[in-house]
Structure 1
Amino acid sequence: MAIALQFAGFDTNNLRVSVSPLAELMAVLHVWAEPDHHFESSDEVQAIARNLDERMIAEFNALSPLWARFRARFFFPVGTESNQTFDRELAGVAALPLEEFVSMAAEAIRGFSKDLPAALELLHDEKIRREFLDTCRSRSLGRFELAEQLLEDPEKFRRRIIGFCSDCWSSFFRKEWEDLALTIGRAAAQLAGRLNRADPIATIASLSVTAKAFLGTSEVRFDKLQQRRVKMSQRELLLVPSRWIGNHLTVKDNAGYPVIVHFPAQTRQEELLQIQQMRDRLSALSADSRLELFRHISAEPMTTSELAVRLGQPAAQVSRSLRVLREAGLVVSDRHGKLVYHRIDTATVLRMGPDLLATLTR
């Protein structure tokens, strides 16, 4: 599955890099809400949470569907200005037309965008409203309660979100942003420079290891658990760097607003795995004979001939097994004089659990 951005007819004057403090606050809240998907940052965000009062923690828990897997669009820039202050971004949320705010909030509360009824139908058509609430209830009681509150009084709901974000700013995020702004600003400036020097499609694809550029068809595909194609002709595109989002890339393409690519500013992309690489590693250990070999060399480095004796297998068969494990990045072979010793790559093996989770959820 993939999200494909189709750039045929795209005007590069509509491509910008934007720094967004509100999107970065949303990233912090997302990590806090889903620590299992962001284990590399969970300790940092928990340290922040320990300094918050019970009222803010309760409000965070109640509103968390808005920044869970399907982040609300209004947390990302709604205009084309490259860099805005936190207050101006919140003012942009307050100024959104009510119907569009309701659509963005309803989409996030439900947790997926497919076949979302129009805002006016959600607000005024009793049958459609009831079906929407039933869908939210089937997902969780918390989502159902949020949906009820949204449809009962959308403006009150909007004020609640803006108030919570303002409380986050004053209680912890103002200081956090002072530390982050330089890093994220530097990443934005570097990307803007690359876009000026290099092919924009290839540059956009370089933002994530999950992406592939198809220059012949002017397309970038992001490997995501979603399937859609976005025609970029006549659309604006904002590339928004994030430090807190880890290695997770998000694409938002709500009609009438700039397409957003929210990408990691610091993650070393060369260290992230393609799904095929993870599949190769799991496959390499799936055969009993290779797993038994792997257990032997996890205890101590061994030569091919030693392994053949230990396993009771021909040396040629052991060599084939070693080659599969080595190509999967799980085994390292070192020459000492005339002998070659094989050992597991301990660092890679220790990372397999976190790498698997990161590969599946980004």
Structure 2
Amino acid sequence: MSVRIDITGLRPEGIAVVPSPLAELGMALHALSEPAHHPGLQGWVTGVTARLDPHLADRMCEADFLWRTTFSDLFLPFAGLPGASGLPGQTLAEELDLLDKLSDEQFVDAALEFTCALPYSGPGPGPLGDARLRRRALELAAARGPQQVLFSERLLADPPHIRRWLRQFLQDCDEAFFAETWARLRHQLAADARHKTELLRRRGLADALTAVSPAVALDEAAARITVDKLGDGRTATAGGGLLLVPTSLGWPHLMVLHRHAWQPVLHYPVGSPEPAAPPSVEQLTLRMSALSHPVRMRLCRSLARSAFTTGELTQAHGMTAPEISRHLSVLKKAGLVTTRRRGRYVYHQLDVTMVARLGSDFLEGILR
């Protein structure tokens, strides 16, 4: 599973690495709504929440489906501008002006896409112009509770009103807590953007993408970028550009904007506290599957305590040597067991460090 970006015809000058204050505000709202996703931000979340005006906190809940369960493309409005080559604004006010430039159809589609399962990667009508999709959006919104169905009804009935509401809400968040946060973070993000831009200039796109995340790979022969994600998607630069937008508050989320007719955007975390090379989704699936068998679980119990030969495991577990070898092969293929030779004997042992990382690797894989 992955998201693929066709970059056929993409010119070097069409690639830009630019911080976005509006995107970072979106990640700030997500972290405040889902602090468990961001254990490293607990101090910041506690501090902001403690001094948050109760009225603003209530308003934050009204449309939290835009940032709580996922990350709405509304926080990357520059990608939806005509020509597919727009850039983020330097200030939040500039980016809110860009948000105002989206059509009502773009605004509503982006606001309802994830939670109401509307078309994303391909062309098609939206709920403003299609009565069937409108009913579908409201049905799915109802499954998420009365608050979301109320907001969705208001959005579909009067998009300009909701647009004004959202702009005022974001401005109030900026005044309440984000301006101070952005003043602290923007220097780190600008430094990262300069570093990635220099990598692009000196060493090319492949090295720059590797620096963005080990989960991003470039196939130059196929003119394709592949992002290892627990999901599938396709998009193309198609004569437009490619944007890389760093986030300080976003780890572990590595997101790809692949909305049809919008400019592709890689929204990537900087300053990740995790190891530099997390496993791919395929590797993670392989490891978890390897540990799901009860026999291999019992083998791991032995191998966690000491190194054993195949013959010793055969005797200890009352199984044949071929059976033990098959289970060991699965564990070794998953990278969970190490093997070393001592004289004429081959010893197997559980890689405890690798197993200990499975919890955080799993979280990163599903949240990436």
Q: Deviations over 1:33-64 (max 9, x none)?
A: 3445x254463464132332322222222211
- 1:235 is matched with 240
- How many percent identity over aligned positions? 29
Tell me by how many angstroms 1:219 deviates: 0.8
Kept in 1: contact 2:118–2:137 (CA 8 A):
no
Structure 1 pair 172/347, CA: closer, same or farther in 2 (3 Å)?
farther
Structure 1 pair 35/344, CA: closer, same or farther in 2 (3 Å)?
farther
- 1:85 is matched with 91
- 1:117 is matched with 125
Structure 1 pair 290/107, CA: closer, same or farther in 2 (3 Å)?
closer
Structure 2 unaligned regions, length at least 5: none
1:234 is paired with a residue whose SS is coil
Kept in 2: contact 1:41–1:244 (CA 8 A):
no
- 1:177 is matched with 182
Kept in 2: contact 1:34–1:68 (CA 8 A):
yes
Tell me by how many angstroms 1:302 deviates: 4.1
Higher deviation after alignment, 238-247 or 49-58: 49-58
Q: What is the root-mean-square deviation in Å for CA atoms of aligned residues? A: 3.3
2:268 is paired with a residue whose SS is strand
Match for 2:219 among 202, 214, 219? 214
Q: For 2:117 and 2:69, locate their aligned partners in 1 and report how far apart those are by CA, in whole Å.
A: 7
Kept in 1: contact 2:255–2:267 (CA 8 A):
yes
1:271 is paired with a residue whose SS is coil
- 2:194 is matched with 189
Tell me by how many angstroms 1:83 deviates: 5.3
Match for 1:104 among 107, 110, 115? 110
Structure 1 pair 158/108, CA: closer, same or farther in 2 (3 Å)?
farther
Tell me by how many angstroms 1:188 deviates: 0.9
Q: For 1:44 and 1:335, locate their aligned partners in 2 and report how far apart those are by CA, in whole Å.
A: 48
Higher deviation after alignment, 321-330 or 247-256: 321-330
- 2:162 is matched with 157
Tell me by how many angstroms 1:343 deviates: 5.0
2:256 is paired with a residue whose SS is strand
Q: Within 5 Å, give how 1:273-352 maps onto structure 2.
A: 273-298=279-304, 300-304=305-309, 307-312=313-318, 321-322=327-328, 324-331=330-337, 344-352=350-358
Count of aligned pairs between the two proteins: 357
Q: For 1:94 and 1:75, locate their aligned partners in 2 and report how far apart those are by CA, in whole Å.
A: 12
2:119 is paired with a residue whose SS is coil
Q: Deviations over 1:81-101 (max 9, x none)?
A: 465112221232234444433
Structure 1 pair 322/22, CA: closer, same or farther in 2 (3 Å)?
same
- 1:75 is matched with 75
Q: Deviations over 1:172-208 (max 9, x none)?
A: 2222222222221121111111111233256336533
Tell me by how many angstroms 1:354 deviates: 2.7
Q: For 2:173 and 2:135, locate their aligned partners in 1 and report how far apart those are by CA, in whole Å.
A: 33
Tell me by how many angstroms 1:107 deviates: 2.9
Structure 1 pair 214/271, CA: closer, same or farther in 2 (3 Å)?
closer
Tell me by how many angstroms 1:287 deviates: 3.5
TM-score by length of 1: 0.83
TM-score by length of 2: 0.82
Q: For 1:10 and 1:255, locate their aligned partners in 2 and report how far apart those are by CA, in whole Å.
A: 17
Q: Deviations over 1:280-328 (max 9, x none)?
A: 3223323433321211243x33443655553345678657655653553
Q: For 2:14 and 2:103, locate their aligned partners in 1 and report how far apart those are by CA, in whole Å.
A: 23
1:216 is paired with a residue whose SS is coil
Kept in 2: contact 1:31–1:41 (CA 8 A):
no
